[in-house]
Amino acid sequence: MKALIFDTTLGEWDKTRGFELRDVPEPVLDEKKNPTDANAVILKVHYAGICGTDRGIWNRAAFKDQILGSIKAEGKTYRILGHEFFGEIVRLGSNVNNIAPYPLKVGDFAAPESHVVCNKCFQCLRGEKHVCTNEKILGISHDGGFAEFVKLPAHIVWKTNTGKIRPELGAMQEPFGNAVHAATKVPLKGKTVAIFGLGPIGMFLTLVARGLGATTIIGVEPNPVSQDMAKKLGIDYIIPLSPQKKGVPPHHRDEAVIKQIEDLTGGLGVDVSFEMAGFNSSFNNAVFATRRGGDMIAFGIKTGDFVFEDYNRFIVRGITVHAVIGRRLPETWEMTQKLFEDTGNKIQENIWNVILDRGKNTILPLKDYTKERFEEMMVKHPKLLIEI
């Protein structure tokens, strides 16, 4: 079968770039050779989404240790990439319906949770599967969905009603769930919020926050394309983020941005700030933009040390910081599907018409993949789909 992979035989991690389109063995279910296949399904992939993680892997800027370590542990030479995808179940193991969140059958459409949790560790047994000790991640430490077929543990497979959720957006349930998880950390009804970073998940967050009753939504974003999309999605205010001035430390907050947020909130600051970009300066912007007694949601990921500006201010103002990763299981998936299926909120309509531009140059058939074309599309569009 065709798949997009990272291939260790082509060179060292830091000396290669992009994804390779290759023929690789199709996954099979063989319970005699592998008893755990009784708990697995094989999904024929229809659509797969490209996110910031994939861009990081493309540029060899993220997940090096996890990818290389898991490939070595499996005795392989490649990793099939991709963690956001949607397709049709074509084969089932004999024990699937004892462990799946829904009864499953051949022909069902489904999307997977990207975190392959163990269901046995301290966190999993206490309803905190999103922080599983032993998790693997699709497309990183477990083969993913940039392929014609993928084998998945049935307990991470979420059946999708294609009568209510269009197939292209079936692949969006996983990243949209990130926004749902972030937005449900604290009540948003009647709140003023600021979103630092309007990438795809930041834009999803504008839709969720509005649906949960946020009264004013402020976005901070440097990219004009994302700014324009956010305006079309109904965000209240956009604050363009300029490059840091020469000589300013990379961790330093942008005082002009903080001033604009204070002006928009009568000098108070926002009730809830969402840091979605993962930059040190953005983290400090979010802290300084949050009112006394407010909440900050930290979602953006970067490896390494951060400088926390003015720790005294953080304590004295009584700000609560919540770290968010992945999706809560099953709560986030259940809410995501309810939001998608509710036509009154126009979430699907907005994602399809605005973020995906009705599929115009945002959907690439796998058979037409070239590194050059794919990279050109990534530069022009915040969110892409691969049609398989």
Cα distance between residue 287 and residue 296, in whole Å = 7
Q: Is residue 167 assigned to a domain?
A: no
Residue 293: per-residue pLDDT:
97
- Residue 308: count other Cβ atoms within 10 Å of its Cβ: 12
Which residues form the domain of 241? 179-323
Judge contact between 112 and 152, C-beta under 8 A. Answer: yes
Whether 191 and 276 map to the same domain: the answer is: yes
Residue 114 to residue 83: CA distance in whole angstroms: 5
- DSSP one-letter string for 210-240: HHTT-SEEEEEES-HHHHHHHHHTT-SEEEE
Pairing of strands 84-92, 40-50: antiparallel
Residue 101 lies in a domain: yes
Do 210 and 127 have their domain in common? Answer: no
Question: What is the structure's pLDDT at 243?
Answer: 86
- Together in a domain, 147 and 73: yes
Q: What CATH number corresponds to the domain at position 48?
A: 3.90.180.10
- Alpha helix (H) residue ranges in 187-300: 200-211, 224-232, 255-264, 280-289
- pLDDT recorded at residue 137: 97
Residue 193 and residue 173: Cα distance in Å, rounded?
Answer: 23
Q: CA 249 to CA 265: how far, in whole Å? A: 27
Q: Count up the domains in the chain and report the number.
A: 2
Single out the residue in 306, 323, 340 at which a domain terminates.
323
Euclidean distance between CA atoms 228 and 195, whole angstroms:
15
191 and 80, same structural domain? no
From the list 149, 168, 148, 152, the residue with the least C-alpha distance to 160 is: 168
Per-residue pLDDT of the chain (388 residues; tens, 9 = 90+): 999 999 999 999 999 999 999 999 999 999 999 999 999 999 999 999 999 899 999 999 989 999 999 999 999 999 999 999 999 999 999 999 999 888 999 999 999 999 999 999 999 999 999 999 999 999 999 999 999 999 999 999 999 999 999 999 999 999 999 999 999 999 999 999 999 999 999 999 999 999 999 999 999 999 999 999 999 999 999 999 988 888 889 899 999 999 999 999 999 999 999 999 999 999 999 999 999 999 999 999 887 889 999 998 889 999 999 999 999 999 999 999 999 999 999 999 999 999 999 999 999 999 999 999 999 999 999 999 999 9
Which conformational region is residue 316 in: left (phi greater than 0), alpha (psi within -120 to 50 degrees), or beta?
alpha
Select from 323, 343, 369 the last residue of a domain: 323
Query: Do 9 and 155 lie in a common domain?
Result: yes
Output 99-102 pairs: Cβ under 8 A, ≥24 positions apart: 99/39, 99/153, 99/154, 99/155, 100/154, 100/155, 100/157, 101/155, 101/157, 101/158, 101/330, 101/333, 102/158, 102/159
The model's pTM is: 0.94
Please tell me whether residues 273 and 366 are part of one structural domain.
no
Bridge partners, residue 192, by sequence? 216
pLDDT at 119: 95
Q: Domain for residue 20, yes or no?
A: yes
d(Cα 260, Cα 155) in Å, to the nearest integer? 46
pLDDT of the residue at 1: 97
Contact 355, 203 (CB under 8 A): yes
Position 47 in a domain: yes
Domain termination residue (choose one: 304, 323, 342) = 323
For 229-261, b where at least 16 C-beta lie within 10 A, e where not — what string?
bbeebebbebbebeeeeeeeeebebbeebbebb
The confidence score (pLDDT) of residue 76 equals: 95
User: What is the token pair recorded at 9?
Assistant: 């035989």
Residues 15 and 143 in one domain: yes
Question: Is 271 within 8 Å of 185 (Cβ atoms)?
Answer: no
Residue 169 maps to a domain = no
15 and 155 inside one domain: yes
47 CB-side CA count, 13 A: 20
Buried b (16+ CB within 10 A) or exposed e, 176-200: bbbbbbbbbbbebeebbbbbbbbbb
Q: What is the DSSP letter of 113?
A: -
pLDDT of amino acid 302: 82
In a domain, 338, yes or no: no
Pick from 375, 355, 325, 15: nearest CA to 168: 355
The token duo for 35 is 């008893």
Q: Are residues 260 and 361 in the same domain?
A: no
Residue 240 falls inside a structural domain = yes
Specify the CATH number for the domain of residue 291.
3.40.50.720
Same-domain status, 281 and 382: no
Question: How many angstroms separate the CA atoms of 216 and 325, rounded?
Answer: 25
- Tokens 């961790």 locate to 251
308 with 218, same domain? yes
232/330 Cα distance (integer angstroms): 31
Q: Residue 120 is encoded by which pair of tokens?
A: 């046995």
Asked whether residue 331 is assigned to any structural domain, the reply reads no
Judge if 6 and 132 occupy the same domain: yes
